[in-house]
């Protein structure tokens, strides 16, 4: 069996997506997502210049060898661009293997460990009242786990506040939008927000929150401690994790569960956090970290330390990643939760899929491979539109983490 062709499809049905399609001499094809928000064309170039020429003629059944070839064989290892390109190849090959076998990826991995996948949705509001209402709306939609983000009094353009109730999309301009950050205002406001949410809705729902890399380890420790009464499911990306050891300080001061990993690319970004039990959830995702082949290794390693998965699932991850993630989530024994932000109707139409939401959970549907396709004729109607993620500055103009 041989790979006869591979090509990249870029489409923008509301936001940009990069998809790799691999075709074989048996008439079976597979697709993988390679989207890197705000840097889409870098991955396109990497795939077209350095990956596709080497794919032609390879045996698509040899997924592991392809992974090692593009990881070890690149010499310049790791990084968001390389690992997304590898993920796209990997997911497309798992898709092909599933189609050849007439099995879902879950079945190829060892079969389902659960009946459906617990997901969390994103509620956000411009202020306290708006956020309380948004959480209520998610509860009404059936969500049992809800991430709450809110505009902060005195801060213009706070992270996580969307333009509409159900869709949040931060990439929005050809040059990054400049936002302003003030840690003190955030530290004062955040416990008030969760106090209000618990007073309004009680303790029956799981609540989550994303700090988006803004705090120092000691500020993060303070916040974690102050949020303890509200029993969060997790506090995410509360400090940057380039220095994994930084989490030790936070961990020593709070029992609020910690989650991190959406910008990690390989096990090496997470190894110390996991083996020192400095986090509770690893948020690495299929598209960000080299596909199913690598994420499976991360999850198995995390299981040794009772760290559970909580894969990134923002709208900049295409339905192809969501379909593949659900296949993975159904299997992975140490599953925690899956992030689920709804795609727009235009996006869902370009990527036909079988997964569906019901009562706070996603159901993958009966599929072979990952079960997501791309309608190329429809995709062609939405040409690429440059968009970039915002940047953040402190009030005195100093650059900060967005």
Q: Does 206 bind Mg ion (CB under 5 A)?
A: no
Choice between 40 and 210, CB closer to Mg ion: 210
Binding mask 163-182 for ligand GCO (x = CB under 6 A): -------x------------
Stretch that binds ligand GCO, among 40-48, 97-105, 136-144, 312-320 (CB under 6 A): 312-320
Cβ–Cβ under 8 Å, residues 136 and 200:
yes
Kindly state the greatest CA–CA separation across the chain. 61
Q: Taking CB within 5 to 8 Å according to partner kind, which of Mg ion, ligand GCO, none is near residue 316? A: ligand GCO
Stretch that binds ligand GCO, among 5-13, 23-31, 71-79, 311-319 (CB under 6 A): 311-319
| Whether 159 is catalytic | yes
Stretch that binds Mg ion, among 60-68, 127-135, 258-266, 355-363 (CB under 5 A): 258-266
Kindly give the pairing relationship between strand 338-339 and strand 308-309.
Answer: unpaired
Token match 């929005």: residue? 172
Q: How far is CA 59 from the centre of its chain?
A: 29
**Burial class of residue 141 in the structure, from the number of CB atoms within 10 Å of its CB (0-12 exposed, 13-18 middle, 19+ buried):** middle
Q: How far apart are CA 214 and CA 137, in angstroms?
A: 27
Dihedral of the alpha carbons of 130, 132, 137, 138, in degrees to the nearest 10: 120
Cβ–Cβ under 8 Å, residues 331 and 110:
yes
| Whether 343 is catalytic | no
Q: How far apart are CA 176 and CA 170, in angstroms?
A: 10
The three-state secondary structure class of 178 is strand
Q: How far apart are CA 30 and CA 93, in angstroms?
A: 6
Q: How far apart are CA 274 and CA 297, in angstroms?
A: 13
Choice between 23 and 210, CB closer to Mg ion: 210
Q: Does 262 bind ligand GCO (CB under 6 A)?
A: yes
Q: Taking CB within 5 to 8 Å according to partner kind, which of ligand GCO, Mg ion, none is near residue 389? A: ligand GCO
Interface residue with ligand GCO among 389, 390, 391, 401 (CB under 6 A) is: 389
Catalytic residue among 29, 120, 159, 340: 159
Q: Does 212 bind ligand GCO (CB under 6 A)?
A: yes
Choice between 90 and 262, CB closer to Mg ion: 262
Nearest residue (beta carbon) to Mg ion: 210
Interface residue with Mg ion among 40, 90, 206, 210 (CB under 5 A) is: 210
Q: How far apart are CA 76 and CA 86, in angstroms?
A: 13
* Token pair in block for residue 330: 């159904």
Token match 């400090």: residue? 239
Q: How far apart are CA 62 and CA 53, in angstroms?
A: 17
Choice between 206 and 210, CB closer to ligand GCO: 210
Number of residues that bind Mg ion (CB under 5 A): 2
* Token pair in block for residue 230: 């509200």
Catalytic residue among 122, 212, 343, 370: 212
Interface residue with ligand GCO among 23, 33, 269, 316 (CB under 6 A) is: 316
Q: Does 157 bind ligand GCO (CB under 6 A)?
A: no
Pick from 34, 41, 37, 39: which is nearest to 87 by CA?
34
Q: Does 316 bind Mg ion (CB under 5 A)?
A: no
Stretch that binds Mg ion, among 80-88, 135-143, 208-216, 340-348 (CB under 5 A): 208-216
* Token pair in block for residue 22: 């691999």
The terminus-to-terminus CA distance of the chain in angstroms comes to 46
Q: Does 37 bind ligand GCO (CB under 6 A)?
A: yes
Choice between 98 and 323, CB closer to ligand GCO: 323
Choice between 23 and 269, CB closer to Mg ion: 269
Choice between 3 and 227, CB closer to ligand GCO: 227
The three-state secondary structure class of 26 is coil
The three-state secondary structure class of 43 is helix
Binding site for Mg ion (CB under 5 A): 210, 262
Q: Which residues are catalytic?
A: 159, 212
Binding site for ligand GCO (CB under 6 A): 37, 170, 210, 212, 262, 312, 314, 316, 339, 389
């Amino acid at each position: 069996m041989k790979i006869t062709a591979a090509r990249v499809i870029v489409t923008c049905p509301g936001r940009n997506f990069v998809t790799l399609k691999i075709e074989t001499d048996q008439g079976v094809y597979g697709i993988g997502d390679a989207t890197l928000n705000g840097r889409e064309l870098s991955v396109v170039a990497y795939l077209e210049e350095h990956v596709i020429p080497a794919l032609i003629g390879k045996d698509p059944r040899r997924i592991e060898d392809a992974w090692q070839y593009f990881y070890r064989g690149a010499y310049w290892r790791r990084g968001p661009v390389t690992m997304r390109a590898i993920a796209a190849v990997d997911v497309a090959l798992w898709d092909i293997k599933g189609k050849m076998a007439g099995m879902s990826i879950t079945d190829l991995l060892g079969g389902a460990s659960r009946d459906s996948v617990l997901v969390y949705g994103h509620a956000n509001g411009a202020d306290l009242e708006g956020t309380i209402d948004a959480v209520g709306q998610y509860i009404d939609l059936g969500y049992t786990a809800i991430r709450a983000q809110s505009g902060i009094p005195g801060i213009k353009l706070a992270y996580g506040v969307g333009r509409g109730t159900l869709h949040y999309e931060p990439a929005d301009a050809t040059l990054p939008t400049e936002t302003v950050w003030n840690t003190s205002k955030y530290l004062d406001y955040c416990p008030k927000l969760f106090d209000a949410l618990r007073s309004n809705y009680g303790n029956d729902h799981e609540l989550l929150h994303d700090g988006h890399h803004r705090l120092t380890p000691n500020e993060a420790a303070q916040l974690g401690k102050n949020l303890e009464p509200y029993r969060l499911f997790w506090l995410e990306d509360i400090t940057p994790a380039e220095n994994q050891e930084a989490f030790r300080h936070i961990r020593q001061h709070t029992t609020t569960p910690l989650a991190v990993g959406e910008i990690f690319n390989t096990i090496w970004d997470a190894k110390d956090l996991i083996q020192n039990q400095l986090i509770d959830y690893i948020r690495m995702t299929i598209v960000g970290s080299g596909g199913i082949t690598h994420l499976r290794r991360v999850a198995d390693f995390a299981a040794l330390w009772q760290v559970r998965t909580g894969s990134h699932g923002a709208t900049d991850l295409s339905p192809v990643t969501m379909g593949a993630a659900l296949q993975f989530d159904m299997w992975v024994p140490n599953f925690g939760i899956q992030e689920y932000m709804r795609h727009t109707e235009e996006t869902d139409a370009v990527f036909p899929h079988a997964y569906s939401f019901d009562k706070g959970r996603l159901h993958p549907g009966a599929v072979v491979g990952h079960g997501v396709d791309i309608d190329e004729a429809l995709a062609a109607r939405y040409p690429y539109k440059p968009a970039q993620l915002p940047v953040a500055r402190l009030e005195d103009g100093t650059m900060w983490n967005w």
